[in-house]
Amino acid sequence: MGEDKNRMKMAIISGASNAIRYKEKNPGATEEEVIKHVTKEVEKILKEIDK
C-alpha cells in the first residue's frame, strides 16, 4: 500500500511540473488547455515513474 501512495505522490508532482513547463512555453494557455495537455501526458508520466 505504501508503494502505491508513493507512486501517486510522484505522479501528482510530475503532473504539476509538466503543467508548469507547458504554461511557461505557452503563457497564453488557459487552465483548461493546461489540464488537457497534462491529461494527454499521463501515460508518459506514469511510464517514467515506473522506470
Provide the pLDDT for residue 27.
97
Domain that holds residue 18: 2-49
CA 41, 47, 49: angle at the middle one, nearest 5?
105
- What are the tens digits of pLDDT across the range 10-41? 989 999 999 999 999 999 999 999 999 999 99
Report how many domains make up the chain: 1
All three cell numbers of 18:
509538466
Separation between Cα atoms, residue 1 and residue 5, nearest integer Å: 6
The answer to whether the pTM exceeds 0.85 is: no
Separation between Cα atoms, residue 25 and residue 27, nearest integer Å: 6
Cα maximum dimension of the chain: 40
- The single residue listed with the C-alpha cell 499521463 is 42
